[in-house]
Amino acid sequence: MNIITTVVGSYPTNTFQAESINDKITQSLGLYDPYKQAIIDSVKSLAKSNIDVICDGQVRGDMVKIFASKINGFKIEDNTVYINGKITPAAHPISVKDLQLAYKTAKSINPSYQLHASLDAIFEHEEKGIKGVLTGPTTLIHSSMISKFYTEKEYAIYDMAKALCVEAQALEKAGACAIQIDEPFISTGAEDINISKKAVEIISESIDIPVMLHVCGDLKDVLKELLTFKVDGLDFEFSGMPQNIDILRKTWHNSKKLIGIGCVNTKLDEIDDEDKVQNTVKQVVDIIKEDNIIIDPDCGMRMLPKDIAEGKLKLLDNIKERGV
């Protein structure tokens, strides 16, 4: 059995003020990036924790505003996101530079990190990779208020998916080993799942690298349909939502998709019990009976203290070494 580790996305971070003379000059020119050091610090933690597939830490804000602040058709006022025009792609890639910085930082710590790493090589522990992370179209639209242009959310979701295709393609070209699409709204039932499916597939069919769909929450009403999505893998919350194990057991039916096993509880403000983590992984593995296994936190860890987040990452590496 081959076990690899990854993270869902967000990681604890701080912004940094310009302190050096060079940084202050850059700031005076409006070019200083207060998040650059935050990305470096986050990636160092991920790489030093031996995570096989990392990301840039999603340090630039919450999962909605990262994209709404750049994609045409949105405005943000008083911390609320509005749709006020036709949604079209951002003028420039949103997260490519951050992915490149993540690669450079991780590579300096462990030369196994590669651009364009293949999942096969990662599962064989010959390479480590950097993935791109996109907030999904359903979640972005349902987290926003429509003030103009669209009368139906369905069409906004499809335009959002088309805009995200451009970002996914840019990340693929830049060397991402995979694209993760985050769709927490799917499990809420807020949108017709067939609309969400079509939107996700607009993205997944536009690129050649693997696509993982992350859906947190209770899977009771959505897992059967999720297994039909044209994506390479599905990533779920099992530690904080143990009922999802029984739902998976009743619904799996020998699907050939990769499953990301969320096995550390990101709502828990302490380091999980290692035996419980291993047991969660084992229960899922016994259901899916696959040789290639991905383990990760339930969700993003942005709200956790950094030492707790690092302890949870260490648990993942321990489970990978112990096996199940």
pLDDT at 24 exceeding the cut of 70: no
- Block residue for tokens 């929450």: 217
pLDDT at 283 exceeding the cut of 50: yes
- Residue 28: which pLDDT band, with cuts at 50, 70 and 90? very low
Domains of the chain plus CATH, in order, are 2-60+86-137+153-322 (3.20.20.210)
In this predicted structure, what is the pLDDT of residue 256? Answer: 86
**What's the chain's average pLDDT?**
93
Closest by alpha carbon to 174, among 64, 60, 94, 68?
94
Do 141 and 150 meet the contact criterion of CB atoms below 8 Å apart? Answer: no
Pairwise CA distance, residues 316 & 324, whole Å = 12
Task: State pLDDT tens for residues 72-114.
Answer: 999 999 999 999 999 999 999 999 999 999 999 999 999 999 9
Pairwise CA distance, residues 293 & 257, whole Å = 11
In this predicted structure, what is the pLDDT of residue 62? Answer: 86
Kindly give, in sequence order, each residue whose CB lies less than 8 Å from that of residue 305, ignoring residues fewer than 6 positions away: 12, 269
What predicted TM-score, i.e. pTM, was given to this entire model? 0.94
Classify 294 as helix, strand or coil. strand
Classify 134 as helix, strand or coil. strand
- Residue 280: which pLDDT band, with cuts at 50, 70 and 90? very high
Task: State pLDDT tens for residues 120-156.
Answer: 999 999 999 999 999 999 999 999 999 989 999 999 9
Pairwise CA distance, residues 99 & 85, whole Å = 29
- Residue 29: which pLDDT band, with cuts at 50, 70 and 90? very low
Do 300 and 8 meet the contact criterion of CB atoms below 8 Å apart? Answer: yes
Half-sphere exposure of 103 (CA within 13 A, CB side): 20
Q: Which of the pair, 61 or 59, is modelled with greater confidence?
A: 59
pLDDT at 17 exceeding the cut of 70: no
Task: State pLDDT tens for residues 298-318.
Answer: 999 999 999 999 999 999 999
Angle formed by the axes of helices 306-322 and 274-288, to 10°? 50
Alpha helices by DSSP H, the chain: 21-28, 36-48, 65-68, 96-109, 119-123, 137-142, 153-174, 193-204, 223-226, 243-251, 274-288, 306-322
Mean pLDDT of 223-239: 97
